């Protein structure tokens, strides 16, 4: 979180500019993050997911992709401002996720594992 080095998140995946490799800091500035990806655990509550999404917006992460293997869905959040993302696009796993510039590609979700009844990841058949 800008202004508080003790308040940070560790996304499941983060995409940073290549130049960030030359940075001596161990924490990336949220303004440098091109894409953060969070995979929802089976035990997470909707309130926790909403709070996490809001945290990324307040921190200024431009693009957040939330994957939910419980429901087989994804949500792409962009344009952070006023404590929340101004734009959101949702879809089902199996559909492509259109990533905004500078990435400007479509991420495939065809092979994303989903949680099974027992809580173990399973593949769609």
Instruction: Say which CATH number the domain at 72 has.
Output: 3.90.1570.10
pLDDT tens-digit profile, the chain (125 residues) = 556 556 567 899 999 888 777 666 667 888 889 999 999 988 887 777 888 899 999 999 999 999 999 999 999 999 999 989 999 999 999 999 999 998 999 999 998 889 875 445 555 54
Residue 54 lies in a domain: yes
Cα–Cα distance for residue pair 78/75, rounded to 1 Å: 10
**CA separation, residue 76 to residues 22, 28, 54, 66 (Å):** 29, 21, 13, 6
Q: Considering the entire predicted model, what is its pTM?
A: 0.83
Query: What's the number of domains the chain is made of?
Result: 1
Residue 1 lies in a domain: no
């Amino acid at each position: 979180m800008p202004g508080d080095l003790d308040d940070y998140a560790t996304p499941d995946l983060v995409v940073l500019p290549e130049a960030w490799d030359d940075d001596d800091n161990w924490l990336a500035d949220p303004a440098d993050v091109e894409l953060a990806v969070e995979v929802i655990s089976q035990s997470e509550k909707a309130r926790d997911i909403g709070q996490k999404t809001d945290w990324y917006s307040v921190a200024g992460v431009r693009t957040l992709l939330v994957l939910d293997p419980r429901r087989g869905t994804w949500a792409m959040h962009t344009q952070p401002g006023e404590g929340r993302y101004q734009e959101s696009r949702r879809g089902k796993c199996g559909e492509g996720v259109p990533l905004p510039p500078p990435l400007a590609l479509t991420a495939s979700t065809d092979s994303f594992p989903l949680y099974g009844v027992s809580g173990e990841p399973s593949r769609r058949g």
